[in-house]
Structure formats: structure tokens, C-alpha cells
Chain A
């Protein structure tokens, strides 16, 4: 009974003509369609692989670029820190450095040295006038730097070596055929500023000397101030020679001259008293002789500028 009902029910189910027609049409259309090409070429997964490979390649190139950076441009923990002003102080490479000497600047605080400057007050050369002076500038790069930077490094080196104590005498001479007043002002302000910053308080003398005196001092490889001090000593001791006192300190030479004049020891030092302009150079230089930070120390009791024990 159920068999017949099932058979009769399914007999009634037939595909109508419309369904057959649509099926024939659709199947025929799909069979005659050209083979579909992939809509994405390369396929999406390949795009991801290519992107990943590109990222890896860029990363490797960046790493190689970083690793191939010259080591001198990298900060090494063992390398000495560069002064902040040094890079800014380097003259522009677009203009050639003017190596013509316009000024000669001498410094002596036992170590004696000479800086030759161009008209822009940049260091053309640095020379040690004695063995201590040569030792001081041996570790420094002063050439082709501006005066401020050079003085900064020079004073830092002198201070670290212990030369700039309160009993020292720091002598600076400026020799030039041009007007050196501007340079003298610059040097004085730089010395005052940088010595104060370094906490040093040596007695400071700054003077401008003529070219002839500087040339004579150069011939003995001493500073003009020392040359003038020796000349002053020779005026009271005709038997003495310049060479004889080249290795003596300026304070010592002045003290000897004082002794010859007054014939006794223990009198007040010629350098004593603030603002005294009676140094050995008085009357021999150009008259621009200034003494700063007056000291009451007697030159005979200690060697001026000597390395402290």
C-alpha cells in the first residue's frame, strides 16, 4: 500500500518544459564560455610572498647600510668626546682656508707656545716654544680652528696638567702689523671667561708687542714677554746674555732684575699689586700692557708657572 503511494507520488513529480529549456540554455552558455583566466595574477598568496620577500630585502639593505657606516662617524665609548664647538668651528669647506698669518699670539705659563692666526682669527699653526709647550699641544688639534675653540682646548689642557693654579703667571703676547686691539680684547675676555669657568685663577698679563720684538723673541724661541724681561735684566747686568736666561721663568728673570736694581732681596715683587704696569715689558713694547688678577705672591719664593708639586 505504501509502496504504491510512494510510487504514485514520485510519478507526479516531473521536470516541466520551462525548467528543461532554461537548463539547456544555461548549460550551453556555460560550456561555450571561454576558459576563465585567473582574476588575480599573481594570485593573492603570491602577492603576500612577494611583499614578505621585499620587506626582507629592504631590511637586509638597511642593516648593511648601517653596518657599513664609517666607524669614525660613530660614537665609540673609548673615543674622546669631541668639543661641542669643534664641528661648528670647522671652517666651511666651500671656501679655502686662509693660511696667511696676520697675528702671532704667545702664551706662557712655564709651557710656552705660539699660535699663528689669520685675519679671521683662525689658527694657522701652533708651535711649542719649549719642551713643556710642545707636550701640551702634542695631543691637541688647534690648526684650522677658531681662536675661541683653540683657547678653550688649550686652557683645558693646561688646567688638567695643573699649570693654571692661583700662583701661576699666565702671559699672553700679541704681535701684529695690523691693529691688534680687537684681538687683545677677544683674548682677554676669552681668558677671563674660560679661566673662571675652569675655576682657575692664575695671574694674567696680556700685552701687544711690535713685530720686531716678536721676531727677536722668535729667534731665541721664547715669548716676547720673556725676551723683554731678559732685555730688562741685561740693562742692569751687562755681562748676562739672552741665551743664559732663556730657560728661566719670567718671574725669576724679573726678580733677578729687581735684585740688580735694588741690591737686596725680600723687597716687594715687581709683579705685586693689582693693575701694575711696571713689568719688564714697560717701555719696550707698544705700551698696551695689562695685568689682571693681582697677586701678592713673591716671585722669589716660587717659580712662576712651575708645575705644582
Chain B
């Protein structure tokens, strides 16, 4: 589609319309101008591709399942507890942990943009940023959960947290049955990204 409006309020319309070319044009200008360091761009991408991801959050959950004192401290002041594990930083400066139980199922959304606990879960998946999830998670969470294969009983209340401020939420999923003998390392493997957003359950062994 040709780009059909140029206006002073939106200079972006002066860049090439095709997305990949547009990003390339902007990156090239920024490098020529000395405003970004290409090696820093690579480092940012490398960090979120390989160093910061849902494995971090899974470590927190597995520890919470294994250590009641840790879980208590996490529920009281998650920012402090996850910072001590090294999971503080951009888009995770203020963290609150919420616990899923038989009585209440928590799930997280950001209806206004895409707020997500980056130091714990990394970059959000596409569906988390989609219009469908943002629009529907608050109005019909049970239908949305069903689309993820999660069917809750009527006895379980749903609590949806819309991340409208700089507080980032981490769901502590229910510990699956039959895991009493598992150590923290084995439990870690049961914790999925979606279970920490609240759109999934932890895996069963």
C-alpha cells in the first residue's frame, strides 16, 4: 500500500513504508549520525535471545515451590527477592508475585501496551502483544484461557491483573500433584513461560 499521508506530526511517514526497509533506513541514519553503536545493538539482541528469558522466572518459581520461607518473602516483597537473585533491571524494576491456588487463578495482561517482566520472562511472545489478548483478557478471561487449553472450574475465581503502571507481575503457578519427591532442579523443568503469565499451568512430570 502506498504511504498516503505526510504530516509534520508524524515524521515517520517520510521513511520507506516497507517495515524491514524502514528499520534499516532508520538504523543506518542513526549509525551515520553516531547515535547508536552497531555492536551495542548486537549486544542487546544477544542478551534477550540467550541471556534473559523465562528460565529466570522458572528458577524463582521452582525455589518458591521448594522453600516456604522463600515463597513467603517473595509474596511480601518480590522486587527485593528477585533482585537478590540478579533478576532486576529494565522492565522489572518493581515486581509483585501472585500465587495461583485452587481458589484463585491469576493472569496478567497489559491492555494499554505490552508491559511484561523482562528480567524474569524476557521479551513477551507475540500473542501477549496482540490486540486479541489485550482486548479480551480482561472481559472474557475464561474464554481466553480455554484457547490456551486451560479450563477452570467454577469454584476457581479469576483475577486478571492489567499492568497499567511500572509494577510487573509474576504468577506463581500451582505446584503440580505428584511432585513431592522432585528437587528444585527437576521442578524447574515443569515451569513454563505461559504458567508464569497465568495463561498456562505448570507441566506435570
Determine if chain A interacts with chain B.
no
Task: Give the interface of A toward B (CB within 8 A).
Answer: none
